[in-house]
Amino acid sequence: MAEQDALLEQGVEAYKAGDRERASELFMQVIRQDRDNARAWYYLALTQKDPQRRKEALEQVLEIAPDNKQAKEALAKVNAHIAKTQAAATSSAQPEPAAKRKAAAGAGAGGFKLPLEIPGAPERITADAIITPGKALLRDSFDIFRNKAGAMEKSTGLATWWQFWLIALTASVVVAVIAFVSQLFLEIRLTILFDDFGYDPRIGHVILTLIFSIPASMVAVYAGSWLSHWWATRQGGQVPLVNHSIRVAMAWMPGAIANAIVDALMLVIVAQGVIEFFTALITDDESRLGILGIGAGVFFFIFLILTIAVSLYTLKLMINGIRSLYQLETIHLWITTAFMFIGYSIIYNILTDILPGGG
């Protein structure tokens, strides 16, 4: 308790000195030790520039201390600000065609309501409610990838399941789009090369893969997070699943995107290599075939090393992210994060084989 009080006072001093980032980090340390510390949640709310995050922190205060007058007043101001911003955005929007307005009215004005309750989610889901925080999470994830000080604490300050699913969705969409572009490029190159042989481009397959790989990846991220949390709790960890999941997902996101870029580059080079190979085969150029064989081996080795390096670096980032959550030996931290990769890979491969576009 004395340690929590000391951290809380240091956070208050940092906040009063204008160092919001440091203050936020200190308040989160207190909350990780005691999630029912209403004072820490209140001051954490004051450090948040994002109105939605400030609102979530104040709601936590009132859940712990329903009669907290300061939190009630602050929450009322935040809600008024959010409502005013939304009203201004609505009034400044361009008028839509009548048919479009009718369709929107049928679906429910201002987005849609989730069929399932997700803690931390807005009442109605709009494109802006997904895209704006998604872009912010993407920027934060690459700050984490660059090992920027305080980046993990900043992006995971308010642990809610809505934030976790936004992380999973953002990463899965970016990875799927990168894979789609590279596979589309390959199909176009193969169509040009084998047009005389009646090659039928699999554009439909590529599109289905794009569509169904996104939910498969999201479910796999959750499965990997759950599995790694299961291992950590077996070693004595007592951190809530949502806090654990957000930390490993934020570290996983930039690694998954980086590996997707490496895979895309490899696919582009493979496509060009196939064209060069068949050109040399048709012209019976044996020396060129030999060079291409050596080049293929070298490129494969380089991309293999890159993939392994990115994966190991991502594991290290995950370890850094959860180290402050658990008092575990380093070997158990490595195993915990490895379980994330194992769970993700197994579930993703199973789902992509089952779903349309897989196999």
Residue-wise burial string across 11-22, b where 16 or more C-beta atoms lie within 10 A, e elsewhere? bbebbeeeeeeb
* Model pLDDT, residue 88: 67
The mean-pLDDT minimum among 81-95, 160-174, 201-215 falls in: 81-95
Q: Is the pLDDT of residue 340 over 60?
A: yes
* Model pLDDT, residue 96: 47
The mean-pLDDT minimum among 11-15, 23-27, 193-197, 245-249 falls in: 193-197
In terms of pLDDT, which residue wins out, 136 or 272?
136
Dihedral sign, Cα of residue 97, residue 102, residue 105, residue 106: negative
Q: Which 3 state secondary structure label does DSSP give 328?
A: coil
Best mean pLDDT range from 102-106, 120-124, 200-204, 221-225: 221-225
* Model pLDDT, residue 257: 92
* Model pLDDT, residue 122: 80
* Model pLDDT, residue 79: 85
Q: Is the pLDDT of residue 136 over 90?
A: no
- What is the average pLDDT across 204-229? 90
**Each residue's pLDDT tens digit, 299-331:** 888 888 998 998 899 888 888 888 877 878 889
In terms of pLDDT, which residue wins out, 209 or 250?
250
Percent with pLDDT over 90 in the chain: 18
* Model pLDDT, residue 101: 43
Residue partners of 232: CB distance under 8 A and separation at least 6: 239, 244, 322, 326, 328, 332, 336
**Each residue's pLDDT tens digit, 241-293:** 888 998 899 889 999 999 999 988 888 887 777 777 777 777 777 777 778 77
Q: Which residues are paired to 112 by β-bridges?
A: 125
Integer Cα distance of 96 and 75 in angstroms: 33
**Each residue's pLDDT tens digit, 229-252:** 999 999 888 888 888 998 899 889
In terms of pLDDT, which residue wins out, 88 or 29?
29
The CA-to-CA distance between both ends of the chain, in Å, stands at 55
- What is the average pLDDT across 164-192? 88
Integer Cα distance of 162 and 131 in angstroms: 13
User: What is the chain's mean pLDDT, rounded?
Assistant: 82
**Domain architecture of the chain: domains with CATH:** 1-90 (1.25.40.10), 151-354 (no CATH)
The model carries a pTM of 0.66
Q: Is the pLDDT of residue 102 over 50?
A: no
335 burial class (0-12, 13-18, 19+ CB within 10 angstroms)?
middle
* Model pLDDT, residue 106: 43
Q: Which of 133, 170, 166, 143 is nearest to 49 (CA)?
A: 133
**Each residue's pLDDT tens digit, 17-29:** 888 888 887 887 7
Integer Cα distance of 25 and 29 in angstroms: 6
